Structure 1
Amino acid sequence: MNILVCEDNKFQAQTLVDHLKTLEYIDHVDVVNTGEAMISAVLEKNDITAIFLDIDLPDMNGLEAYGILKMRGKHIPAVLITGMKPLASDTYHLDIIDVIEKPYLPPRVEEALRKIRLHIEYQRFIRVGGIYVPIINDKIIQVVPDDILFFESCSRGVKVHIVHDTIEAKYIPLKVYEEYLRNHGFVFSHRAFLVNTNKIAAVNDEGIFFKGEKERKALVAEERSGLIRKLLRRLDILPT
C-alpha cells in the first residue's frame, strides 16, 4: 500500500508516518499539509492506495478537499482524522472508510488500515466478476479469476497456475472449472489446458504465453490456435 497523509500538524503527521512505516504491507508514505496539495498529489500520481486525511486544514475543510477528488474521478479510500467527530451524514455520501478521533493509539490506525484493505479487496472482487474460484487440496483456497493464468490437467488432478505460484488441486475436474468460468474469459486451448484470455500476452507455435510470466506457458492444439487468435483479436488483446 502507498499512503498519502494530509495533516498540517507536523508532530502528528510525523508520528503517524513513523508508525505506518513499521507495517510490512506499507510500501511508501507521502505527506502533504493542505487540501490543495492533497488534490494535486492525487491527480499527479496513479499509485496512491489510501489517504489519511485531517478534517481541519489551513486552506479548506478536509471533507471538501476529498469531495473535490471524488468529483475529479479519483475514488481513493480515505480515513478521516479529527479532533471533533463529524456527523455520519457528512461522511457517508463521500464513502469515507473510517473516522479516527484524536488522540488515538497505533492499534486504532491498524484497525482503520484493516478496513481499507477489506474495502480494496471487495472492490477488486466486484470488478473481476464477483466470484471466487475454489482450489481444493489439503485445504480450500479461494482466488479471484483475475489471479489465474491457466489450468493444466495432470495425473494427480489439476495444476492451477496463478500469479507468482502454482497450486495442485484435487476433486474438481478441468471441465467443471471450464463450465464455471466460461463467462469470465476462460477457454480450452488444448484438451489439458484451460486459459484465461485476459492474461494472454502472445500465441505462437510454441504455445500460449502470459503477461508478466517468462517461463510458464500453456499448450495450444493446432485446431484451437486459429479460434483463440480470432477471439483475442475480437477482444483487442492481440493486434489484427
Structure 2
Amino acid sequence: MNILVCEDNLIQAQALTSHLQTFDYVQRVDVVTTGEEMISVVLEKNDITALFLDIDLPGMNGLEAYGILKMQGCDIPAILITGLRPAASDTYHLGIVDVVEKPYLTPRLEEALKKLRLHIEHQNFIQAGGVYVPVITDELALLSPKDILFFEAGARELKVHTLHNTFEAKYIPLKIYEKYLRNQGFVFSHRAYLVNTRKIKYIDHTDIHFIGDFQHVASVAEDKLSILKKILQRINMSPI
C-alpha cells in the first residue's frame, strides 16, 4: 500500500508517517502540505493507493482537493485525520472511508486502517469482475487477478508471483488456474509459466519483464512468442 499524507503540520505529519510505517503492508508513505500539492502528486505518480488528509489546510481545504480528484476520475480511498468534525453528508457523498479525530490513539488508527484495507479489497474484487484467485499455502489466500504477475510451475511446487510477494501454492494444478483465469488476460507463455498479459512491461528475447517488478522474469517458449506478441499488440502495448 502506497499512502500519501496531506497535513500542513509537519510534526503531526511525521508522527502519522511513523505510525503508518510500522505496518508491514505499507510499502511507502509520502507527505504533502497543501491540497494543490496533493492533487499534483496523485495525478503525476499514478501509484498512490490511499490518502490520509487533514481538512484545515492553507488555501484549498482537504475535502475540496479530494472532491477535485474525484471529478477527475481518481477513485482513491481516503481517511480524514482532522480536528474538525465534518458533516456526515459531506464525507458520505465524497466516499471518505473513515474520519479519525485528533488527537487519536494507535488503536483508533489501526481501526481506520482495517476499514481502509477492507475497502481496497472490495474495490479490487469489483474491478476484477467479482473474481478472487484461491492460493493454498499453509493457509488460504484470496488474491485479486490484477495483483498476480505470473505462475511458475516447478517439478514439485507451484509459485505465484505478485508485485510484493511469492506464494508457494499447493493442490491446485497450473492448468486449473489457466482455465479459471483465461478471461482475466492470463495465457501460457511456456508450459511452466502462466502470465498476466495485462502486467507485462516488455519481452526481451525469451524473458518476460513485468510492470513495477525488477526481480522476477517469466520465460516464453519460441512457439508461444508470436501469439503473445499479438495479444500485447491487441491491448495496445509494445511487446519489445
Same fold (TM over 0.5): yes
Residues 94 and 229 (structure 1), Cα distance of their counterparts in 2 relative to 1, 3 Å cut: same
- The TM-score with structure 1 as length reference comes to 0.75
Query: What RMSD in Å do the two structures reach over aligned CA positions?
Result: 3.3
Q: Given that residues 207 and 220 in structure 2 are in contact (C-alpha distance below 8 angstroms), is that contact kept between their aligned partners in structure 1?
A: yes
Shift of 1:184: 0.8
Aligned match of 1:69: 69
Query: What's the offset of the Cα at 1:136?
Result: 2.1
Instruction: Give the C-alpha shift of residue 157 in structure 1.
Output: 4.8
**CA distances 1:171-225 after superposition (whole Å, capped 9, x unpaired):** 2122211110010111223334322222332163xx3422234564324152x33
- Deviates most, 151-160 or 170-179: 151-160
Residues 72-130 of structure 1: CA distance to partner in whole angstroms, max 9, x if unpaired? 43433322344453332221110111112344333323322332333334333433444
Gaps of 5+ in 2: none
Correspondence for 1:93: 93
1:28 maps to what in 2?
A: 29
Q: What's the offset of the Cα at 1:234?
A: 1.9
- Are the equivalent residues in 2 in contact too, given 1:187–1:197 (CA < 8 A)? yes
Unaligned runs of 5+ in 1: none
Residues in 2 aligned to 1:91 and 1:155: alpha-carbon distance in whole angstroms: 53
Structure 1 residues 83 and 182: CA distance shift in structure 2, 3 A? same
8 Å CA contact 1:149, 1:210 repeated in 2: no
* Greater mean deviation of Cα atoms: 38-47 or 62-71: 38-47
Q: Counterpart of 1:14?
A: 11
Structure number with bigger Rg:
1
Q: Secondary structure at the match of 1:21?
A: helix
Is the Cα–Cα contact under 8 Å of residues 6 and 35 in structure 2 kept in the other structure?
Answer: no
Provide the residue aligned with 2:198 in structure 1: 198
Cα 1:110/1:16, change in 2 over 3 Å: farther
- Name the residue aligned to 2:178: 178
Contact 1:20 1:26 (C-alpha < 8 Å) held by counterparts: no
Partner of 1:5: 6
Count how many residue pairs are aligned between Structure 1 and Structure 2: 232
Distance in structure 2 (CA, Å) of the matches to 1:189 and 1:72:
37
Residue 219 of structure 2 is matched in structure 1 by 218
Same amino acid, percent of matched pairs: 54
Deviation larger for 89-98 or 209-218 = 209-218
Indicate if the aligned counterparts of 2:52 and 2:80 stay in contact, CA closer than 8 A: yes
Indicate whether 1:232 and 2:232 are aligned.
yes
1:198–1:31 distance in 2 versus 1, CA, 3 Å = closer
Residues 221 and 81 of structure 1: is their aligned pair in 2 closer, same or farther, counting only changes over 3 Å? closer
